[in-house]
Structure 1
Amino acid sequence: MTGTGPAVTICIRRARPGDAAAIGAVHAETWRSTYAGVLPDAYLAALCPHRLGYGYERAILDRRDGHAVFVAVAAAAGGGEGTSAVVGFASGGRSRRSALAEGEIETLYLLDDFRERGVGRRLMRAMAAHLHAIGCRSAMLWVLRDNPTRWFYERLGGRLAAREVIRFAGCEVEQQAMVWDPIEVLLAATASAPER
């Protein structure tokens, strides 16, 4: 965010069940922004933040396979109660495709106003540190080929390791697996994540 408004600080922390509704809203808003023209308009319009939030609440509580959810919370400097909001999140755990990597970042979504400020990098750092702590020596994520922010993962040293066409929202799309092997590549790439 730019301008002369109040200074905003960003805190990255482990998600709590009470964050689920806000996470669902971030998911819906970022998909509508990122995938406009990539996925069908009707599908994007029908995204239900409440339903998404319910799914994330279960994900926050379910820590099987090392699963974790982290949130980026923005707070206005000097603000009181109710002046903080979830503006992004990341989730993951042990990989669903162990042949590609041991750990997987399943989601990384960030509201448009908070991009290009180091927040996405800090969320990736939280996930990489978590995966490393649970013993994963490599990490991966899937990204749609037509996702306009795909370059972010390339800048962090992600290497294209696989491609596949999947059927999603009634259409065929290509997804690409980005891999960091060893995971220290991702840890090093996210080590300096200044807040702006």
Structure 2
Amino acid sequence: MISIRRARPSDAGAIGSVHAEVWRSTYPGILPDDYLAGLSSWRLGLGYERSILDRREGHAVFVAVAGGPDLPSSLATESGQQVIGFASGGRARRKGLADGEVETLYLQEDWRDRGVGRRLMRAMGAHLRVVGCRSAMLWVLKDNPTRWFYERLGGRPAAHETVRVAGQTLEQMAYLWDPIEALLAATAPAPER
């Protein structure tokens, strides 16, 4: 069974591991190999622990956890569950494009194409609406091979800019859902038959 819930401080280490793993599988050829190899799950986890505890500006972190028959017993933790992905966000860090911002959405490669990313985006969209956001956006590297996912959810390209990552200048683009109900409609569960 895969469930989505609000992250707990005890999830931070697993979130850091997912972040490092996803960057290593998504950005070869885009970011330097030595930079990707040097990503520290532990250091990333410390940052996410602070992020989980920081609720200013409507900030929240959600995790996707797998357990039960969906999770091979070799991967189960003491709780019988494993963090397989996460999303974070809050009110937009910069004003102008949207009220709310999805800051991160990372999902382990083996768990893609199962609707988990869509469910994480729905959790973030619902949270942003609850904290008063009427629109939502996110930034993604233009060369990210999975950016089609945001297009399938109805995200409209709204801005481009360059950003420095690992000593390189890369182009990133913003996807926008305005009104936020467009994101919620695109991520709604399919009706049962």
How far residue 82 of structure 1 moved from its aligned partner, in angstroms, is 3.6
Contact 1:118 1:193 in 2 (8 A): no
Which residue of the partner structure matches residue 3 of structure 1?
none
Q: Distance in 1 between matches of 2:169 and 2:95?
A: 24
Which residue of the partner structure matches residue 115 of structure 1?
112
Q: Percent identity?
A: 71
Cα deviation 1:105-163 (Å, max 9, x = unaligned): 00000000000000000000000000000000000000000000000000000000000
Question: What's the TM-score, normalizing by structure 2?
Answer: 0.93
How far residue 167 of structure 1 moved from its aligned partner, in angstroms, is 1.4
Contact 1:93 1:105 in 2 (8 A): yes
Which residue of the partner structure matches residue 176 of structure 1?
173
How far residue 76 of structure 1 moved from its aligned partner, in angstroms, is 2.1
What are structure 2's unaligned runs of at least 5 residues? none
Q: Distance in 2 between matches of 1:166 and 1:91?
A: 20
From 17, 20, 45, the equivalent of 2:9 is 17
Amino acid at match of 1:69: V
From 129, 137, 142, the equivalent of 2:134 is 137
Runs of 4+ in 1 over 6 A off after TM superposition: none
Amino acid at match of 1:155: R
Within 5 Å, give how 1:1-196 maps onto structure 2.
9-77=1-69, 81-192=78-189
Residue 60 and residue 193 in structure 1: after superposition, are their counterparts in 2 closer, same or farther (change >3 A)? farther
How far residue 193 of structure 1 moved from its aligned partner, in angstroms, is 5.8
How far residue 96 of structure 1 moved from its aligned partner, in angstroms, is 1.1
- What SS does structure 1 have at the residue aligned with 2:110? helix
- What SS does structure 1 have at the residue aligned with 2:94? coil
- What SS does structure 1 have at the residue aligned with 2:87? strand
Q: Distance in 2 between matches of 1:186 and 1:165?
A: 25
What are structure 1's unaligned runs of at least 5 residues? 1-8
- What SS does structure 1 have at the residue aligned with 2:134? coil
Cα deviation 1:146-191 (Å, max 9, x = unaligned): 0000000000000000000111101110000000000000000000
Q: Distance in 2 between matches of 1:193 and 1:13?
A: 20
Q: Distance in 1 between matches of 2:116 and 2:126?
A: 15
